[in-house]
Amino acid sequence: MAGILPLVFLIFSLGTSVVYSGSHTLHYDVTIVSAPTPGVPRYLVSMYVDGVQYGKYNSDIRHAEALYPSLRALSEHIERQTQYAQEHEMRQRHRLNFLKGYLNTKGNGNIYQRRLACELYEDGTIGGYEEIAFDGKEFFSFDKERVVYVPVTQEAAMLSYLWNIRYDPTDTKIYMENDCIEHIKLYLPYISTDLEKKIPPKVKVSSSESESGTKLHCRVYGFYPRDVEVKWIKNGRDEIHSEEAAQILPNPDGTYQIRVSVGVTLDKNSNYSCLVDHSSLETPMIVNFVPNNGRHLYFIISASVILGIFIYRKRMTKDSQGSHEPVSIGGESLNTDAHPEAQEEQITDSPPEGLENSNEILRKVEKRDLPFYIKQVLKPQ
């Protein structure tokens, strides 16, 4: 059962539709777990307005809860939502069991997920969507114009046909265009102050090294509302496209965060900066990336240490009885008679743990393992 925990809310991390100025979206995330799981209710419902969670219900508390004081005045509405959630659990569990039977799944660790949303646009028109997933894989989406569930994967083609027969999609369309929209209109007067607030983002840039090269990271956090534009710019004009799909994630305090990463090749002729545009800012925020040149120091020192060891070995070959005079490396004296721990004290930056012994380094050089050693030295500390 522990294996199902990462799947909870998997489909819901795919993101919501963009909220346009003057328009509003209400959506529900529903999750049903087929068997008891420690710390996870078997039935969960979360209610969001414009991406902010305002309500919840689960099979442990058995009562709808308003998460903001502004909505707690709607006590009768909340009670009706409690009754609806309890009835809805039975219907959605029936759908979970149908999917289990059709797919012939083994064991009890299954998860059914549903996201249903309605959208009220500034011009008064109405939109909406629905997504259905099972065990972390999306199977259907609802086509509101055609009033039909359509398969998302080839595997779901026949299943969607049966789904449309068993569960009338007309009911979904009616709910989207009526009850759901009425709920948006009911909530807005109570939460308009919350929705109109603007919190500017904080930005941090950093880098990391891997076998594939250098990656730059721009972390933007603590902002509200949700919509934000984040991108990397090279030399003040060229946008760098990320190969990773960045997701805007919620914070416990109602704000949001996002991280955008790109792979680059650092050189002295290139400058990189992270550009952030948000409704709370009068002009876009630009944060420059300043390379940490410390990693180049590691390479210089490590190369010097290897050179010094070769010099030492050469001297030992010439004169096995010879005096062990200190070898000068980069203006510093390296006492070759000293214990390895003492050598570490004389060098400002020692090689990584496990490679400080000179014989170990030479063994790797002789085996042509030097690139591995360099990668270890250059690894960010």
pTM for the model stands at: 0.57
The pLDDT assigned to 36 comes to: 78
**Would you place residue 344 in the very low, low, confident or very high pLDDT band (cuts 50, 70, 90)?**
very low
* pLDDT level of residue 331 (50, 70, 90 thresholds): very low
User: For the chain, how far is it from start to end, CA to CA, in angstroms?
Assistant: 37
Hey, is 84 helix, strand or coil?
Answer: helix
What type of residue sits at position 266? Answer: L
Q: Which of these, 220, 287, 222, 293, lies nearest to 258 by C-alpha position?
A: 220
Q: What is the per-residue pLDDT across 260-317, written as a single tens digit (0 to 9) for each?
A: 999 998 888 889 999 999 999 999 999 999 987 544 434 434 444 455 555 555 555 5
Please tell me the predicted confidence (pLDDT) of residue 315.
58
Residue showing tokens 């903001």: 68
pLDDT the model gives residue 185: 94
- Domains, the chain, with CATH or none: 2-196 (3.30.500.10), 202-288 (2.60.40.10), 294-378 (no CATH)
pLDDT of residue 227: 85
Contact 276, 220 (CB under 8 A): yes
Q: Tell me if residue 77 falls in helix, strand or coil.
A: helix
* DSSP string computed for 151-201: ESSGGGHHHHHHHHHHS-HHHHHHHHHTHHHHHHHHHHHHHHHHHH--BPP
Model confidence pLDDT, tens digit, residues 114-137: 999 999 998 889 999 999 999 989
Q: Is 197 exposed, middle or buried (CB count within 10 Å of its CB: 0-12, 13-18, 19+)?
A: exposed
| Mean pLDDT, residues 153-159 taken together | 89
Q: Are 201 and 222 in contact (CB under 8 A)?
A: yes
Q: Write the single-letter amino acid at 134.
A: F
Instruction: Calculate the alpha carbon distances from 265 to 57, 115, 153, 210, 271 in Å.
Output: 49, 41, 38, 12, 11
Q: Could you read off the pLDDT of 42-82 as tens digits, one per residue?
A: 999 999 998 888 899 999 889 999 888 888 889 999 999 99
pLDDT of residue 366: 39
pLDDT band at 205; cut points 50, 70, 90 = very high
Compute how many other C-beta atoms are within 10 angstroms of the C-beta atom of residue 282.
Answer: 6
